[in-house]
Amino acid sequence: MSLTHRWRKEAGPRLQGSRALDSSKLQAPCIVRIPAGGFRLFYTAVGPAKPYPTCQGYILSAVSDDGLVFRTEPGIRLAPQPAIAYMSLRVIGATVTQCTDGRWRMYFEARGPADQPTVICSAISSDLLHWEHEDGIRLQRPGGLGGPRYLPLPDGRGRLYCFGQEFGPGGPKCGVRLSQSVVSAITADGLCFELEPGYRMRDKQAEYDTAGITAAEVIPPSGTGDCWTMFFSAWQNVPPGTVVPMHPSKDPNAVTDGLSVDFAAASIAADMAGYRSRIFVAHSPDGLLWERAGCAIEGKGYGKEGLDAVHAEDMSLVRIGEGKYRMYYAACDKNGNWRIASAVGKV
């Protein structure tokens, strides 16, 4: 069953590259409602103003009064740390929650060299603008984790949904990636997480998700008897026989000599090698066992018009009315331009 008719895409991009910090590539939105009014959109970007040559991305922000027109804010909200191996190259995919003491905590995917599995780390802020890295790793797994989305639970705990990777012999550095599916972890204090058994959503269950799931955001039930709703972005693999250029995150030259590798250009070349991504919907009675329900957002395909013609992924939702939500998502057009788009619909 298709659900695309339930989501109305809004005209124009919400955000696009406009300065030396984000002109090369931007993606992975995270929308937060500001207590004093308006919205702040966190997003991952890279551009010629990156803080050091081998840096592959950092988290920036923009603000809006109405959730449609955004103004970029100066500076970097959160940057990778060259001296920390597992966070030396890139931070991506922010998800933000308010703590019981009034401060804010951001969870994010941290990336280092190709032989280091991706991990989930965190930062803390009192104003949503100035962020301080918190020591250590919040969550890790042998094959790597990423694309975190945090959900506060009614009992005071929190659940983190993220993708978990599995690799063949050789691991993340030289092994074949066998799967990239959704896993979850529970926390009582926001710092210590315990992985829950099994998978929340397996990849390779349909022709449209043969290249892995990149993120999953869950909307809890609004009333007794209602179900949980998951939005997840999945990639479709390239056609058989396609030669895919090496993604720069797997290229050792991108680490040893950042000046010789244009990370954004190489990354976009891999994105546009024949892959497609779309946003899907699933439902659950308990937040653990899920049943797919259809496609929420997809573009028209290669060579066609639309901000999201080729890719639609890494969504972030905010409630804007009774049962009504605005979804922000990373969108890529036929020319390889990545922007933040939006759509509205009911959950």
* pLDDT at residue number 342: 98
DSSP secondary structure code for residue 87 in this structure: G
Of 123, 113, 135, 137, give the one whose Cα is nearest residue 185: 137
Question: Is pLDDT above 90 for 251?
Answer: no
The confidence band for 344, taking pLDDT boundaries of 50, 70 and 90, is: very high
* pLDDT at residue number 225: 66
Q: 3-state DSSP call for residue 331?
A: strand
* pLDDT at residue number 169: 81
> Domain extents for the chain?
4-346
Architecture category of domain 4-346 in CATH? 5 Propeller (2.115)
Q: What is the mean pLDDT of residues 266-272?
A: 94
Question: Is pLDDT above 60 for 178?
Answer: yes
Q: What is the mean pLDDT of residues 129-147?
A: 97
Q: What pLDDT, in 10s, does the model give residues 141-158? A: 999 999 999 999 999 999
* pLDDT at residue number 261: 56
The confidence band for 255, taking pLDDT boundaries of 50, 70 and 90, is: low
At residue 227, φ and ψ (nearest 5 deg) are -100, 165
> Residues with Cβ < 8 Å from 159, sequence gap 6 or more?
150, 151, 153, 184, 185, 186, 187, 196, 218, 287
* pLDDT at residue number 3: 58
Q: What is the mean pLDDT of residues 251-277?
A: 77
Q: What pLDDT, in 10s, does the model give residues 204-247? A: 999 999 999 999 999 999 866 689 999 999 999 999 988 888 77
Q: By the 8 A CB rule, do 119 and 113 touch?
A: no
